[in-house]
A = this chain, B = another copy of it.
Amino acid sequence: MLWTDVAPRDGLQNVKSTIPTEAKIRLVRGLLDAGVPRVEATAFVSPRWVPQLADAAAVIDGVRDALTKLRVLIPNARGLELALEHGVRNVLVTIAATDSFNRRNVNRSVAESLADLERIVDSARAVRCVVDVALSVSFGCPFEGRVEPDGVIQLCSELAARGVDEISLADTIGVATPASVKNLVVRSARVVPLGRLALHVHDTRGLGVANVIAAYEAGVRRFDGSVGGVGGCPFAPRSTGNVCSEDALQALAPLGATTDIDLADMCRVAEVLAGDLGVDLPGKLYRAGVWDAVPVADTLEIEAG
């Protein structure tokens, strides 16, 4: 299983207060030390659009020794150039499943984004840089409402044909359910090898973990999540983040999903991040503690004595 923690990018990008670069580097390093195989460390986007990630180059420089485990978001060919200049060899491009969302997001039609993508893949391939694509609003769009699976499957085919490495079904606004996840995964798997499919969900309506489990049971082995479930704007109580990595991982492990990720370490990373942001994060495991069947009462007595 390939778990990607996107907290440093998707998790932090909408935080209004400026987070010190050192805190971001500590976060990326904490995730890697906890055994996370891949971390989405930042984005090479215009600071005008995402001021929080204006220090992308400094973050990458701070974890240069772990470059092979990092992915960064890029919006266009210029982003790829910057990423490559800084030694990154795995980039993520987002393309929406609907024209309305794509235009709002990157000011282009989906067809134009696909044409851009072809150039990005060509440039990346020349330097053996892996290109992943997230299909945002694959389960529902705030502007167009219901998104028909047929269109998403068609896009999956086109991305596979263009040599994209990982194709991520992204539930950007958190409207997927286990049933719709299974349905879309099963259908996508007819046009993309299951090993290249990923699921990226937000916990907007409380179904994040259930949706990850549904996709896992349908054969998906690549997932995004964020430590502590950070995301949205942690200072706006009603906005929501990515599915919480450690919450989901505790459920996946007993189902046979093997990773090197240490849940207690992840909880400590969440705790530090909560401290850095000065707020409680949505994730639950880091607050309750990892259950390892050691009686809580014993633990308390040991601690108390």
Q: Find chain B residues with CB under 8 A from A141 CB.
A: 295
Of the listed stretches A11-19, A63-71, A247-255, name the one at the interface; the rest are far from the partner chain. A247-255
For this chain, the copies found in one complex come to 2
Q: How far does the alpha carbon of A204 sit from the alpha carbon of B291 in the complex, in Å? A: 11
Instruction: Give residues of chain A (199-214) contacting chain B, Cβ–Cβ below 8 Å.
Output: 203-207, 209-210, 213-214
A179 interfacial by beta-carbon distance below 8 Å: yes
A177 interfacial by beta-carbon distance below 8 Å: yes
Beyond A240-B284, A251-B178, whether A144 also contacts B203 by CB under 8 A is no
Q: Find chain B residues with CB under 8 A from A294 CB.
A: 145
A302 interfacial by beta-carbon distance below 8 Å: no
Q: How far does the alpha carbon of A273 sit from the alpha carbon of B179 in the complex, in Å? A: 30
Q: Which of A174, A207, A244, A280 has the most CB of B within 10 A?
A: A207
Residue in B closest to A237 when the chains form the complex, CB atoms: B280
Instruction: Give residues of chain A (178-212) contacting chain B, Cβ–Cβ below 8 Å.
Output: 178-180, 203-207, 209-210
Q: How far does the alpha carbon of A209 sit from the alpha carbon of B254 in the complex, in Å? A: 17
A-B contacts besides A206-B247, A207-B247, 8 pairs, CB < 8 Å: A142-B297, A143-B297, A144-B295, A177-B254, A179-B254, A206-B284, A209-B209, A238-B288
11 A-B contacts (beta carbon < 8 Å): A100-B297, A142-B295, A145-B298, A178-B213, A179-B251, A204-B284, A205-B247, A205-B288, A206-B283, A238-B288, A240-B284
